[in-house]
Every structure is written in structure tokens, then in C-alpha cells.
Structure 1
Amino acid sequence: MKERIVDSAYAAGWGLVKSLPEGLATSAFRLAADLAVRRGGGGVRQLRRNLRRVVPQASPQELDDLVRAAMRSYARYWKETFRLPAMDAKAIARRMDETVVGRDLVDKALARGNGLVVALPHTGNFDASGIWVAHHCDGFTTVAERLKPESLYERFLAYRESLGFEVLPLTGGETSPYRVMVERLKQNRVICLVADRDLTRMGTPVTFFGEETRMPAGPARLAASTGATLMVLDNLFDGDGWTVRFHSPQLVESRADAPAATQRLADHYAADIAAHPADWHMLQKLWVADLPEARRAALSAG
């Protein structure tokens, strides 16, 4: 029952929100964000704990203001998610051409002929950034969690494919997504992966804002396996638009170097997030210290 309700809510979002006037949609989502902050549910409380690590010097009032701004930013992301399918993707890409930073790094990486792995955190609107990447690089490949119910996964699949992305299911596909991504890199294509959270035994231990967490091993391992350039993408809200910033390219010489490369990604994410913390949408537990004792023990045992 709960899964059907969630699916129906997303269906209503894509059906209704895109037809609302922009001003009304913006006001409605901002109001929803402010109400969520006042309610102080689990996601908001975790966001506050996460942001305190980013800005430990903040006063209680400053932290309150930051949490409110972050929830408004998160609400903007969802408003845009529901409205992007009705917008002109080519026009969005042309508009973003004026604000892209690091385009030369992307072109240089692809000129090497071994593909490009772009790793990014949960900041800004990575779907809007993806529109620019898809148009500039003639598409790219990413991976998506197989949501439940299946109809909800299909909705997100259709949404991102409509923006020009090739989306591989994390599980349940005919072929391993890692194998497909290796093949795409051999074809000198682009892989984009959201890579700032993986609290499983497969995640790579890193230090992030001075504390232990885990991040996905996939981006660095793909780069090591194929010779692809590994690069960071910073997604920024910029007024009523978006800025894409590519930076910090690195080559990963071997699988043995992958953990150090992942730590470098974590360091770059930290610098970017500290520069615009309100646009980091991390409402889940991220640091190992926040996990239940049994979960921490399981990670240590792994």
C-alpha cells in the first residue's frame, strides 16, 4: 500500500507540477520546505547533524538558517525534477553553455581516447547538469537504484532517458552495469556517477570533514580498469539557473591506487560543499558514527 501511495505521489508530481505557473510552483515547494523544517522530521534532523559537520563554527541561529536554506534548495531540486520534462532540453543546454566551468578539461579528457568518469555529490540539480553533459558529449551513461515498486523505477527511468541519459539498473539488469560502463569507456564515452555515499561493505573508507565514512569504489575502479580520466563535477544553483563546474581531473594508475583516488574525491567534495553548504542535499545518515552500533560492527567486520 505504501509503495502504491508513493508511486501515485510521483505520478501526480510529473503530471501536475509541470503544468503550474512557475511562480506558483516555486512558492508551493518553498512552503513545503519551510513546513518540513518546522515539523523537524527525521530527514531534517539528520540534515542538521550533517551540516553541523560542514560548518562546525555556526551558531544555533546560523545553523537554523542554513537548514532552512538547504531544505528550500532540496525542494527546488524536486520542483525542477517534475518540470524539466516539459522544458526544452536544448535551450537549457545552450543557456548553461554560458556558465560551464572546465569545459576544456572535459574535451581534453575525451581527446585522450579512454573515456571520462565524472563523479559528483548530491548537490544542486545534477539532472540539469546532466542535460548539458548529454548535449555536449552526445549522451552519457549512469546507474540508478531499482526503486520499488517497479512502476516508480520505470517513471524515473523514463524521466532521465527523456533528458538524454542512458540509465543502467543497479540490480536486475541482463548485464552487470560495471561491465557495460567499462565497454562505454572503451568506446570513449562519458560515465556520470553520484558518489558521495555508500555505507555498505563495498564502500571505500574515507575521511570526510574529519570523520570516517564510506564512498563508492566504482568511479576510481572504472578509471583504473580503463585508463579513463576521473573528474569531479560540482553542481550549483545560480539564480534561477544552474552552473556546471568540472575540476580536479586525475588518472588512477591501478586498482591499488583506487582507495587513494577515492579519498581525493572526498576531499574535493568537501571543499565544494563547504563553499555552498545549502545546496548539499544529504538528508540520510552519512558518517559511520551516526549508524547503529550493530551496523558499525558489521562494517568493521567487512
Structure 2
Amino acid sequence: MNVAAAYTFAWRNATKIPEPVLRGLFTAVADVTWLRHGKAVRRMESNYARVRPDLDAAAVRRLSRAGMRSYMRYFREAFTLQGVTTAKLRARVRLEGYDEHVRPVIDDGGAVSLALGHLGNWDLAGAYGSQYLAGVLTVAERLKPDELFEEFLRFRGSLGIDVLALGNGDVLGALVRGAKEGGRLLPLLSDRDLTSTGIEVDLAGHRARVAAGPALVGLEAEVPVHAVGITYERLRGARRRTAGTPWGIVIHFYPPLPVPDVGLPRAERARLLTQGWVDQLAGSIVEHTHDWHMLQRVFVADLGPARQRAARENG
């Protein structure tokens, strides 16, 4: 299967399909994937079981069905996002904590480093942010094949999001320069370590490895670091009619993290900041576990021996 061609076809043609039909199609894909109980679904269930020890195996299995539906909802929305009107965009997004914690910094010409998890719909959040809050600068994992990654960059660019490719030059330096220019949100998907050079933390009672980016940008650019939880909510009444869909998202901005003592080593300061945003984000993950689209290994106990050795050597 030509994955790049399939994604390109979806991005270019999904908007031509009526919303109810598309919604039914992606729900069916989610349910079939869940019933097949393949490797990705089993990994999702393993991750869910770790953050929700209160649930038995049957409850985790049911939760993973809601998780797959949430995940497919993300893709359905992403494929049609370029055709969303400004009125629909506004109706689909609700903010919590932005006016209290972030707006004063942006209004003063500053920037903020935002630690995101694979929660809800981060592309919808980015589109909304670039339209109504501030410039958005982020990083993306380089996808294979190259044609798929180029299509992905065009998609993000059409939403007003500036994207740096992970592994392409000095990404951290580019983020720091962007932050120092001010007037920007720098959201980084960080609840998974893609490089084996991340930071080991406690996530909901289990050791996990996450990205160091949000903390390093905050320290190097001297900007606040916040966790951001993005979760789905049901829409009703006038808001649902305007949105054109039964689902919207809540973007929850947590308070800024305390700046660690400058007398501490840089690595320890980064670790403290990282554990801080992980503690905040864990609240969203535990409360809205079905919106956590984590189908990969994130907990140290699940990493293979090679990844564990690399993590120890770089940690």
C-alpha cells in the first residue's frame, strides 16, 4: 500500500464527503481495528492499564475501544481541517487557563514553551492557536516516505503552523531563536522519547522516558514552561450546529512551572522542569485516558534492552 498516496488522497478528498458519512466510516474503521486486537491496540491497552490501575482487564479493553474511536476521530478531523471555516473553528475549540496563564506573556511580546501529550486533536489546537492566539512554531517527527512528510508539512503549513523537522539541523537552536523573537507559542509533543536522549520521569506511578525539548527551550530562551492537555468534549445546541460536528476540544493550559534554582546543574534543572509538566499532564491523561493516543512504548519497563541501554548511556 502506498501510504503517502493514501494520505494525500484523504487530505484532498475527505472534505467532499458529508460529515455524517465520514464520521460513520471512521467509527467503523476504529471498531474493526479494535476488534482485530492487533499490536497497536494491545500497546494502547498496556499503556492504559499502567495509568489506570483502578480498572480490571475487561474495563481496560472497553476503554481501548473508546480510545480507538478518539484516535480515528483525530484523523477524520485532520483530513478535513483545511476546509473548516473560521466560524466552525471557533465553535470547535474551548480554552481553559489561557487568559490567566499565557495571554499576559503573549500580550507583552513574550513566548511560552508548551509540553503536549498525544491527547485529543493537537492539529486542531494548532490551527486555532495560529489563527486566534499567536504564531505557532513546533517540531515534527520525520515521516517515511519523504513524499508523506512533504505532504504533512504542506498540511501543517496550510493551518498556519511553522514546522521544524526533527533531526534536520539544530532544531533546539531554531526553537530557542523562535522563542526569543517573542509572540509565539511553541507546542511540542513530548510524552514520548523519540531519540533515546530524553529524560526519565515518573508518569502516573511508573518510570517513563519523555522528550527534554519543552524544558530545554524554557531554560535556554528563558520563557515559561506549561503543560497543555487537549481533550474532546461533546457539543450541544447552537455550538454543535455551528461547529458542524458533535465533537469539540478543550485546550487546558496548566499554570507555568516554577523556574528551578539557577545554582543547580543544567541537567537537574531540565529534569525538574520535565517532571513538573509530566505531573501536570498526568492529570489530563488519567482523567481522559481514552483521548490519549499512545500506541507506542513510553514506559521504561516496556522498552527493549537496546533502548534501555541507550537511555542509560544518554541519561
Contact 1:119/1:219 (8 A) holds in 2: yes
Larger mean Cα displacement after TM superposition, 39-48 or 207-216: 207-216
Is the aligned partner of 1:125 residue 2:125? no
Alignment TM-score, normalising by the size of structure 1: 0.92
Q: 1:166 maps to which residue?
A: 162
Q: 2:173 maps to which residue?
A: 179
Q: 2:228 maps to which residue?
A: 233
Is the aligned partner of 1:244 residue 2:244? no
- 1:270-302 per-position Cα deviation (integer Å, ceiling 9, x unaligned): 111111111000001111111222332332233
Which of 45, 48, 51 is the matching residue for 2:45?
48
Residue aligned with 1:143, SS: strand
Alignment map for 1:1-302 (pairs within 5 Å):
5-88=2-85, 90-96=86-92, 99-104=94-99, 105-111=101-107, 113-172=109-168, 175-188=169-182, 189-198=184-193, 200-239=195-234, 240-253=247-260, 254=262, 255=266, 256-302=268-314
- 1:109-144 per-position Cα deviation (integer Å, ceiling 9, x unaligned): 224544111111000001111122112333210011
CA separation in 2, counterparts of 1:146 and 1:135? 25
Q: CA deviation at 1:21?
A: 0.8
Alignment TM-score, normalising by the size of structure 2: 0.89
CA separation in 2, counterparts of 1:93 and 1:116? 23
What is the root-mean-square deviation of aligned Cα atoms in Å? 1.7
CA separation in 1, counterparts of 2:307 and 2:214? 25
CA separation in 2, counterparts of 1:227 and 1:79? 37
Percent identity of equivalent pairs:
35
Contact 1:199/1:286 (8 A) holds in 2: no
CA separation in 1, counterparts of 2:202 and 2:306? 21
CA separation in 2, counterparts of 1:93 and 1:81? 12
Contact 1:47/1:67 (8 A) holds in 2: yes
Contact 2:200/2:210 (8 A) holds in 1: yes
CA separation in 2, counterparts of 1:262 and 1:41? 32
The count of aligned residue pairs is 295
CA separation in 2, counterparts of 1:199 and 1:9? 25
- 1:22-69 per-position Cα deviation (integer Å, ceiling 9, x unaligned): 111111111111111111111001001000012112123211210100
Gaps of 5+ in 2: 235-246
Gaps of 5+ in 1: none
